[in-house]
Amino acid sequence: MENIYVNNNNTCELIKAQKGTIEFLMNYSLSLDIIEVHGMKFENNLN
Amino acid sequence: MEVFVDDSVLIKKYIDGDERALATLINRHNSRISGFIYSKVGNRNITEDIFQDTFIKVIKTLKRGAYSEEGKFLPWVMRIAHNLIIDHFRKTSRMPRFEGSDTFNIFTVVSDDKLDIESQLIKNQIDCDLNLLIEELPNDQKQVLIMRIYKDMSFKEISEITGVSINTALGRMRYALINLRKVIEKHNIALTM
């Protein structure tokens, strides 16, 4: 019997980074501070 | 009505301190970047790791003010992800990774006989307590017990060194154990793991 594949197009799950990963990145971004001293840039992580 | 804000505008906002702009950028490109990584590595967990590392680099570059490719945000992020994917394959080819299956677990073949840290701490405590108890024994019994248990000497060797008969050495060992048990029971000491 003929399969109608177009009816099954929702079975393909989109790959996406999880919410936890995005939250981690947002927290990382908030905590990261770049300090410039004498033309040199230093990363500072303020947890 | 939601207004579409261009990537370059969001980047500028983020550099100016608006953290929500970063969330918008990540969410906007999440599936494309994740899909791209997954298409190369074929593993969800590794995809997640590379995605995270990619955006850590993005965040650092933007915060350092080193980003200059305005209007080409997505290709730039893709290039970072691509480089990290190459790094990942370099690492895995240097150190091949083995993953068990439902029917085979590598730890049934490879094992570590060492005690875990908690058991090791308990064992150390027991050894320490036992040493204190042995110190309380009369010298002749203590001597035989140490030679037998800690130095793994035979009763023949013990008798030769201490200058007593084998039977005497055996008797001293027996009394040493009886006395140890008495002290342990009297003081209700637990010497088990």
Q: What CATH number does the domain located at B1-93 have?
A: 1.10.1740.10
In a domain? residue A7? no
Chain B positions touching A14 (Cβ under 8 A) are 31, 35
Residue A11's pLDDT is 46
In a domain? residue A40? yes
Chain B positions touching A29 (Cβ under 8 A) are 19, 22, 59, 63
- A47 or B81, which is more confident? B81
Residue B86's pLDDT is 95
In a domain? residue A8? no
Angle at Cα B192 formed by Cα B190 and Cα B193, nearest 5°? 130
Q: Give the range of the structural domain holding residue A23, as residue numbers without chain letter.
A: 17-45
Place of tokens 């140890």: B180
Residue A3's pLDDT is 58
Residue B130's pLDDT is 87
Q: Per-residue pLDDT tens for B6-16?
A: 888 999 999 99
pTM assigned to the model: 0.56
Of A21, A29, A30, the CB nearest to B48: A21
B91, amino acid identity: K
Residue B95's pLDDT is 75
Per domain, the residue ranges of chain B are: 1-93, 136-193
State which residues of chain B have pLDDT below 70. Answer: 1-2, 69-71, 97, 193
Kindly determine whether residue A25 and residue B55, on different chains, have CB atoms separated by under 8 Å: yes
Q: What CATH number does the domain located at B136-193 have?
A: 1.10.10.10
Instruction: Output Rg (C-alpha) for chain A, integer angstroms.
Output: 22
Q: A5 to each of A9, A14, A15, B35, how far by Cα in Å? A: 7, 18, 21, 22
